[in-house]
Structure 1
Amino acid sequence: MGAILSHTSETIVMFNYPRIQEFLKRYNKYKPIFIKLKDIYSKAKHDYNLTLNILKQNYTDNNFCKFMLKFVETHKIATHVYFNMDNLRFKCIDSGSSIPETINPYCTKLTSTIL
């Protein structure tokens, strides 16, 4: 999961590139999705750190069970952000089309909510 969060962080940095910022200005419907995904990423990273801290606690016998429950939940959030950020960047922004929906209908289904 650390690799997923790391890759997502790199993708977020790429959204600061001028070409991508220009795209987000031109197609402003994608900007709120990006912002929401970035917020969810922050939550996932925070939850990941909290989840790892569960294993560091030595006073409880059922730490591993707590860890696994929390890990599954955090993994779901992290993978959601990872795939949607990548899809937003590669399928919609880097598609080479002036209108993203014309080349990839996925762009109209992009969501920031967790299913």
Structure 2
Amino acid sequence: MIRTFILQIPCHRRSERSFLKLQKYIPLCARCTGMLIGILMFPIYFYMTPSFLLAIILSFSAQIPLLIDGFTQKWKWRSSTNLLRVTTGLLSGNGMGLFIASSIIWITSKSIY
């Protein structure tokens, strides 16, 4: 069930950019693994979400390291490591989780009357 869910996630699944577990590669690259873990932590933000504007700023700021790492690697300015990929993925995923939680809180706080 979990493997089927993970295989639905769009990822290049390169083995040299994935983690090994019990002599098998995890079917997600290091960056996507970090993003998935970060996004799955979004329920925590329901208890400690800052103001909506600050949450939006933090959410988008958390994407900057991922973009820098991804593009400088794509342009072959430098090579990245799995530790850096999973770290930028965690930052990005937490930013997305914060965005999801703060958006839900903001939408549900608006009255319809």
Into which bin does the TM-score normalised by the smaller protein fall?
0.3 to 0.5
Q: Which has the higher contact order (CA 8 A, sep 6+)?
A: 2
Greater per-residue strand proportion: 2
The alignment's TM-score, normalised by the length of structure 2, stands at 0.42
